[in-house]
């Protein structure tokens, strides 16, 4: 069973987290996000597709990928996109002691700030897999905005047919949705088949694409 949107009851189990973005009356913003990059095999493709629609997005970056591929990350920055924290080694908060998880977040944030040269006042963090404990969230919340999602596309699921992936993503999309794609090798097939058509359909429906 694929839950493209978690029920509000489950969302409330994690205080201090954000599941949707602002949607002023009469506006139709979408907040596209891309997890797990940057990598040279997939991130430039995403940047090309976004540029076709003058779209801005947020890239939740794995710290070790930032350090391996700084030029790819700089391409995203130069195009007006935002880079954000996805821990240094893409770790689950459920599997690490709190101190180790917080160290992973800090290591990734240092890599981000080294790349951009600008310390952020309120950086963004998305926990890999959405897995973070209440204690970890409480410890991070004073410094970070903890960003979850309103639409999970499941583009990374190789068993998920691209046409079904697209149809489900569009069906759950609404103004203010934070939408998760992945600029990763695992998501390559669905990312390349779904993202261009998703952007086209949403643009035709009057949506704008904003960074968080």
At residue 118 the predicted structure's pLDDT band, cuts being 50, 70 and 90, is confident
At residue 111 the predicted structure's pLDDT band, cuts being 50, 70 and 90, is very high
Say if 22 falls within a structural domain.
no
Residue 171: the pLDDT is 98
Alpha carbons within 13 A on the beta-carbon side of 99: 0
Say if 7 falls within a structural domain.
no
In 3-state terms, what secondary structure has residue 192?
Answer: helix
Domain CATH code at residue 40: 3.20.20.370
Q: Which two tokens stand for residue 186?
A: 């695992």
Say if 32 falls within a structural domain.
yes
Exactly one of 35, 150, 155, 183 is catalytic; which is it? 35
Q: Is the pLDDT of residue 95 over 90?
A: yes
Number of domains in the chain: 1
Query: What are the tens digits of pLDDT across the range 138-149?
Result: 999 999 999 999
Say if 49 falls within a structural domain.
yes
Q: What's the rounded Cα separation, in Å, for the pair 33 and 78?
A: 17
Say if 168 falls within a structural domain.
yes
Q: What's the rounded Cα separation, in Å, for the pair 134 and 81?
A: 29
Structural domain of residue 156, as residue ranges?
28-209
Q: Which two tokens stand for residue 193?
A: 């088949």
Exactly one of 4, 81, 86, 182 is catalytic; which is it? 182
pTM attached to this predicted model? 0.97
In 3-state terms, what secondary structure has residue 129?
Answer: helix
The pLDDT > 90 percentage for the chain reads 92
Quick check: is 172 catalytic? no
Say if 146 falls within a structural domain.
yes
């Amino acid at each position: 069973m694929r839950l493209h949107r978690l029920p509000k009851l489950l969302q409330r189990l994690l205080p201090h987290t954000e599941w949707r973005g602002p949607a002023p009356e009469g506006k139709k913003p979408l907040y596209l996000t891309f997890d797990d990059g940057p990598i040279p095999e997939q991130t430039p493709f995403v940047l090309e597709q976004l540029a076709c629609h003058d779209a801005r997005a947020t890239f939740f970056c794995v710290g070790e990928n930032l350090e391996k591929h700084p030029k790819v990350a700089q391409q995203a920055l130069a195009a007006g996109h935002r880079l954000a924290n996805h821990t240094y080694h893409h770790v689950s908060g459920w599997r690490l002691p709190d101190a180790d998880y917080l160290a992973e977040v800090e290591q990734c944030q240092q890599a981000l700030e080294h790349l951009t040269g600008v310390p952020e006042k309120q950086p963004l963090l998305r926990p890999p897999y959405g897995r973070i404990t209440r204690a970890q969230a409480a410890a991070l919340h004073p410094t970070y905005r903890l960003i979850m999602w309103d639409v999970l596309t499941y583009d990374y699921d190789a068993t998920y047919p691209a046409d079904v992936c697209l149809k489900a993503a569009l069906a759950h999309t609404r103004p203010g949705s934070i939408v998760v794609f992945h600029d990763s090798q695992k998501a390559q097939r669905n990312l390349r088949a779904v993202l261009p058509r998703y952007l086209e359909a949403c643009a035709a429906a009057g949506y704008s694409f904003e960074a968080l």
